[in-house]
Amino acid sequence: MIQFAFPWAFFVLPLPLVVWRFMPPHREQIEALRFPFFRRITDAAGVDPKAGAVVLARTRLQMAAAVSIWVLIVLAIAQPQRVGAPVEQVKAARDVVLAIDISGSMDTRDFEDADGARVQRLAAVKDVVTQFVEGREGDRMALIVFGSKAYVQAPLTEDLDTVIALLEATEVGMAGPHTALGDAIGLAIRTFDVSEIDQRLLILLSDGSDTASAMSPVNAAEIAADRGVEIFTIGVGDPDASGEARVDLTALRDIASRTSGAYFYASDEAALGSVYDRIDALAPRQTETLSWRPRRSLSHWAMGLAVLIGLGVIGMLHTASRRRAQTMSGPNL
C-alpha cells in the first residue's frame, strides 16, 4: 500500500498554470523588421543576435517534459511511502524480581511432594518457581539469590528460559550459610533502578530470620515503598525452630505490609504452589502491545525520474540545435 506523508503538497500542482494565467510575461511593442533566414544573415555578417532578436517557440516535447518534471517534483515533496504489513511487539508492563533464599537451612528435607515423599526445600522451591516463571511470558523478570550475601543471578530480562536455567543451577550455600533479607531487598531496589516501568514487584522467599544484613529488612522495605516497589513475601520452613533455622514470619509480614504487598506461608510443596497461584492472580501478567507499520520512502524514485527526463530533453534539444546549425551552415543549393 502506498501512502503520502505530506498529501497537502498536491495543492501546489496548479501553481505554474496560475502564474502563467495571472502573471503574464512582460511584453513591449517596438518597431522592428522581420527577416526570413535571420540566422544565415547574422552568420554571414559575423555578428551575434541580441536577446529578443530571435523568438523561440516551445516545442510539444519541452512542454510535456516541463509538466512531467513539475508533477514528479511535487510527488517527491509529498513523500510517497510504501507501507508494509502491521508489526506487533509485546512489551512487558510490569517488572518482577524473584529473591530466593539459598542459605544453609534451605537444604532441610521437610517439604512433601505430590507423592508424600520428603524433598529438599530448595528443590521444591525450584519446581514451583519454574512453573510460575513459565507462565509469565511477556513479563521481564530478574533472579536474586541470597544467603550471607545477596547476588544477582539474572538481571531484568524477557529471556525467561535463561532465568529458569540459572535457577536450576543454583545450589544451597552458594551465597553463604546465613540469611541477609535486608541486603536482598536492597539489591532488588538497585535492580529496579534500570527499569522505566512503573509497576515493580518483588517476590521474596525465605526460610530463616535476618542475621547477616547491613541494613535491617524493615528499613529496606521502607525504601522499597518510596521507590514504588511492591513486595510479596513467602515464608517456608519451621516458625517454631530456634536460631537461624526459625523462619521470621513477623518480619516477612511487616515487610509486605510496609509496601502494600502481601504475605504468605507455605509448609509443603502443594501449599507453595498455591501461594504462587495466588500471587499470579493478585499480580496477573501484564503486557503492552505495540503496533506499527514499516514505511519505505519512494521519493528518490520520483526525483530520479525527473532528473532523467530533464537531462534527456536537454540532450535531445542540444542535438537538434547542432543539426540545425550544421544544416544552415551547409552549401546553399
- Rounded mean pLDDT of 248-269? 90
Q: In terms of DSSP bridges, do strands 287-292 and 80-83 run parallel, antiparallel, or are they unpaired? A: unpaired
Q: Where are the domains of the chain?
A: 2-85+294-328, 89-290
Rg (C-alpha) for the chain, rounded Å, is 41
CA distances from 279 to 129, 230, 241 (A): 11, 12, 27
Q: How far apart are CA 261 and CA 225, in angstroms?
A: 10
SS3 106: helix
pLDDT higher than 60, residue 329: no
Q: What is the pLDDT of residues 76-126, one digit of tens each?
A: 998 888 887 877 666 666 789 999 999 988 888 888 877 778 888 899 999
Maximum average pLDDT range among 9-13, 36-40, 266-270: 9-13
Residue 333 has pLDDT above 50, yes or no: no
pLDDT > 90 fraction of the chain, expressed in percent and rounded: 34
What is the CATH code for 89-290? 3.40.50.410
